[in-house]
Structure 1
Amino acid sequence: MNKISKLIISTMIIIFYLTNSYANEDTKLKIGLLIPISGENYELGQSITKAVRMAMKDINTDKLEIIIKDTKSDPATTLKSANELKLEGINLTIGPVFFESLKYLDEIEDMIFLSFTNQTIDLPKNVISSGVNSTSQLNTIKKFLEDNEIDNTIFLIPKLNYEEELKKSIKKSRIKISKTHFYEKEPTKLTNQIEKITNYKIRKQNLEDELYRLENSNEFNKEKKIEQLKMKYTLGDVRFNSIIIADFEESLKSVTTSLLYSDVSPKDKYFITLNQWFDKSLINEKDIQPIYYPSINKDNFEKYKLRYQLDFEEEPNHLSLLSYDLVGLVYYLSFKNNFDLSDINKIFKRKNSFKGKIGIFDIKNNEINHRLNFYKIENKELIKIF
């Protein structure tokens, strides 16, 4: 082979590699976004879209492209949109938002969906729950109990559709629970159940018996003792030191009110609940304080809300913060894998951690858990414990 032929071949090889190099630089990794942009939940979809735009602006990369498809919060529409994303070569999608929308997604192979749901039971095998699930919350409560050497904890769970989810999380978190009670939401039934759980009638009878005994005794200074007893509602302690209440908003207040009626005070026993998303109405409920709960990083949440309001002149939905973090998570994992998501199933099986605004995302075995903060409300003030 003469020198000219060799030069031509060498030049062709260089051009080939340079062309491929530029092509790879220009190639964008496409990620799906399945959200309701029409239908009854379209406003939530708009909030998520805006948060995703914020995230993409902050990441500032030309290697990532988000392709949005409508779910209409409907399982059939979700499946149709997911198939459209797959036809575009997409194998990783943020969304859907609601658990009900996941119904048919197991029909799609070689594709992973990072759903906003916090439910972990009965998920299709290609769906990863990215919401703040109950296991993450119980892990945080467990840390608080252990740090403060609090034992004899009981768990109150309403008879609703997340009983099994909480049972699974109790087992998975290995939190020490002395007894679990399932209660009715109807006020009269609830009050009767709380009375039984707290042995209210026995403790009330104990007080009446002791008053009767003193009144008919010759004990020294019995008048003062009787006066002190008459200031009480019951006599005798309950068989727990802390109580976890898996409820929210007005239903949570109904349970705590029933506990107060049964003479169980948060001043004497720890009242703990699940993530309340910084429900401001709890600040004014001084009678049920202190009350404790796990949640996301509040400082980051407030900064995010302020920026969102400045950019869009409206309040963000708290799920939009999750979407902001999920874009960051996807970019982080893509970067770690040189923007090659061809083996998508292995990526979420490997152990990884990502620090988002919500907190730290722990990824392993196709699961996402969150390292949360822990707060208490006392004297009408929200206080971060850790």
Structure 2
Amino acid sequence: MFGSFKRILAMGLGSALLAGCAVIPDAGSPRPETSGPVTSAPPAAPDMTALPQDEDRHRVALLVPMSGENAEVGQSIANATTMALLDTGAENLRITTYDTSGGAASAARRAVADGNRLILGPLQRDNVGDVLSVARANNVPLITFSNDTTVARNDVFVMGHVPEQSVERTVDFAMDQGASRFAILAPRGDYGNRTTVAAERAVQARGGTIVDVQRYDRGNTSIISAADRLATTGGYDTVLIADNARLAAMAAPRLKDAGDSLPSLIGTELWSRQGSLLNSAEMRGAWFAAVPDDRYRQFASSYESRFGQQPFRIATLGYDAVLLTLRLTRDWRPGRDLPEGLLTDDGGFLGLDGPIRFQSNGIGERAMEVRQVGNGAFTVVSPAPTGF
């Protein structure tokens, strides 16, 4: 199913011949074309904002913050797209980066004016509406790096790692191990709301029971107080702690003693690559689901050798977006609108983060593995499916 895509991925990650790196041209990078001789007047100055007239390349825009507080994240994604272009030897794509920090709508207008037929980005969900208002009028779809499913549409495809899917996968695994009565410890706000609803839906779908839900304001003492309230309630065999590793480790001793098998503790994708969990005796045996990390480790090593630093974890989305775009070019002619339905292939696409397929509503469905927190190491206790 993924044979051809695996060859692209293997070529990218295994190539040792690509020693250099290229800079993705900015929207304003000068690329003047050669003018013919003029006898009556000096040649006109080249348009320093014009892109070359590519007839055999697909123009794809990358909309990420390249300045401001999120500049390092945006640069990491941009670097990853450069890596993907180099690793695959893609000559049929021109990816141009547009900085959303000065205004996502204006970045989108420049991208559309430059003839881009697909937008990768934006990064932040709050920018999706501004970009979409410009892109939709020009029939340009978005593949956003956000993980917020509320922005998904039939022309907005959410590529981020969706926390609801992590929660549902972990709840299913816990119930397969015999869990049936759940409690939820979640922060107030959007993330807590999303994970709480996802857990309630997953538990009820399997015939389980939600015994108690405790919410708290994020802070060093609030989660402890909420955990104490939960401990007083009792009557549950499993607790979802929908927060980061540091806060989860603070709450765990209020819920169980080190070495106790119950209640089981489960978490979310926020625990991925959080080594501090391994230092907590109370967290041992806890489960959480995330996309597989095997290919990420290879990617991170290659990234560091090229750019001199470790990438942000989200940078894989930039790499995978290029692999996905290359897959689309098989049935997409340069200069034309992206044909409807290409992004919703039932078989999905394979990238660094494993298989992903976009549903008709724009939500990217991912295959996740379940990991267990151990004594000094994480163990995969339920591998991710290899396809759909």
Q: TM-score range by the shorter chain?
A: 0.7 to 0.9
Gaps of 5+ in 1: 1-24, 201-237
In the alignment, what sits opposite 1:127?
156
- Give the partner amino acid of 2:112: K
Q: CA deviation at 1:144?
A: 1.5
Determine which of 223, 230, 234 is the counterpart of 1:197: 230
> What TM-score results when the alignment is normalised by the length of structure 2?
0.74
> Quick one: structure 1 residues 175 and 307, their matched pair in 2 at CA, closer, same or farther if it must change by over 3 Å?
farther
Provide the rounded CA distance (Å) in 2 between the counterparts of 1:310 and 1:285.
33
In the alignment, what sits opposite 1:382?
378
Determine which of 50, 72, 94 is the counterpart of 1:43: 72
Determine which of 193, 209, 221 is the counterpart of 1:178: 209
Provide the rounded CA distance (Å) in 2 between the counterparts of 1:198 and 1:171.
19
Structure (1/2) with the larger helix percentage? 1
Determine which of 115, 130, 134 is the counterpart of 1:104: 130
In the alignment, what sits opposite 2:97?
68
Cα contact 2:223–2:247 (8 A) shared by 1: no
Determine which of 170, 178, 199 is the counterpart of 1:149: 178
In the alignment, what sits opposite 1:278?
273
In the alignment, what sits opposite 1:53?
82
> Quick one: structure 1 residues 34 and 190, their matched pair in 2 at CA, closer, same or farther if it must change by over 3 Å?
closer
In the alignment, what sits opposite 2:356?
361
State whether structure 2 residue 22 is matched by structure 1 residue 28: no
Provide the rounded CA distance (Å) in 1 between the counterparts of 2:282 and 2:171.
25
> Quick one: structure 1 residues 338 and 155, their matched pair in 2 at CA, closer, same or farther if it must change by over 3 Å?
farther
Q: CA deviation at 1:188?
A: 5.3
State whether structure 2 residue 235 is matched by structure 1 residue 239: yes
Cα contact 1:106–1:125 (8 A) shared by 2: no
Cα contact 1:153–1:176 (8 A) shared by 2: no
Larger radius of gyration: 1
- Give the partner amino acid of 1:157: A
Provide the rounded CA distance (Å) in 2 between the counterparts of 1:57 and 1:189.
48
Q: CA deviation at 1:81?
A: 1.0
Cα contact 2:332–2:338 (8 A) shared by 1: no
Cα contact 2:182–2:240 (8 A) shared by 1: yes
Determine which of 189, 196, 219 is the counterpart of 1:160: 189
Q: Deviations over 1:158-211 (max 9, x none)?
A: 2122244235534765466521513213565544443443336xxxxxxxxxxx
Provide the rounded CA distance (Å) in 2 between the counterparts of 1:28 and 1:79.
25
- Give the partner amino acid of 1:197: L
> What TM-score results when the alignment is normalised by the length of structure 1?
0.75
State whether structure 2 residue 147 is matched by structure 1 residue 118: yes
Cα contact 1:112–1:344 (8 A) shared by 2: no
In the alignment, what sits opposite 2:311?
316
Cα contact 1:376–1:383 (8 A) shared by 2: yes
| CA-based RMSD | 2.6
